[in-house]
Amino acid sequence: MERTLILAKPDALQRGLVGRLLTRFEQKGLKLAGLKLMVMTPEIAAQHYEAHEERPFYPGLVRFMTSSPIVAMAIEGIGAIAICRKLMGATFGCNAEPGTIRGDFGVSNSFNLVHGSDSPEAAEKELALYFKAEELLEYDLNSFQWIYDPVEELGQEG
Ligand code: UDP
Ligand code: MG
């Protein structure tokens, strides 16, 4: 199992799309391990977007991400990081394929509704920026028995 950080960005919250975004991840068969409505502080933004600090879009990105609340989600599943990136679609809404979140709900290069960690290292770092260890819950999701093959994929005895 892998965990990844997903953010519903300020545009998603302001446009009333948070529920529909969360549904995309749920209906795919991913498990919610953490959920939080919060404001991204300038301190969190600086750490989260450290790698983009020198890019021309950085000041606008930080302004956007700190302008209004976000919803942080910890999403779990086998291969969750790559699966979530696929569900999100390409970075720019104008390029993102229909059927993806960014392809279906937006057209902007910057107001693109959703963030998802892009590697296991990023997921670990980013989850720690938004969630304390005890806010990430361990529980059995009953539906996993029908989402995965329990013997082949979950390693349970047949
Ligand atoms: N971004 C932007 N202009 C750009 C490139 C990126 O405003 O030319 C913003 C956009 O909101 C994007 C975020 O910066 O989601 C992080 O960029 P990245 O390349 O990491 O894209 P992502 O991983 O979100 O697809
Ligand atoms: Mg990125």
What residues line ligand 1, using a CB cutoff of 6 Å? 57, 61, 91, 109-110, 112, 115, 118
Give me the amino acid identity at 8: A
3-state helix, strand, coil split of the chain in percent (to 5) is 40, 15, 40
Model pLDDT, residue 90: 98
> Tell me: the pLDDT tens digits for 83-97?
999 999 999 999 999
CA distances in angstroms from 51 to 33, 45, 54, listed in the order given: 26, 11, 8
Q: What is the pTM of this model?
A: 0.97
Please give the domain boundaries of the chain with CATH numbers for all domains. 2-147 (3.30.70.141)
In residues, how long is the chain?
A: 158
Q: How far is the CA of 51 from the centre of ligand 1 (A)?
A: 11
DSSP strands (E only) in 30-97: 31-38, 70-77
Model pLDDT, residue 157: 85
> Tell me: the pLDDT tens digits for 27-78?
999 999 999 999 999 999 999 999 999 999 999 999 999 999 999 999 999 9
Residue of the CA atom closest to atom 22 of ligand 1 = 91
Question: Which among 45, 61, 73, 48 is positioned nearest to 125, based on CA atoms?
Answer: 48
Confidence class for position 6, pLDDT limits 50, 70, 90: very high
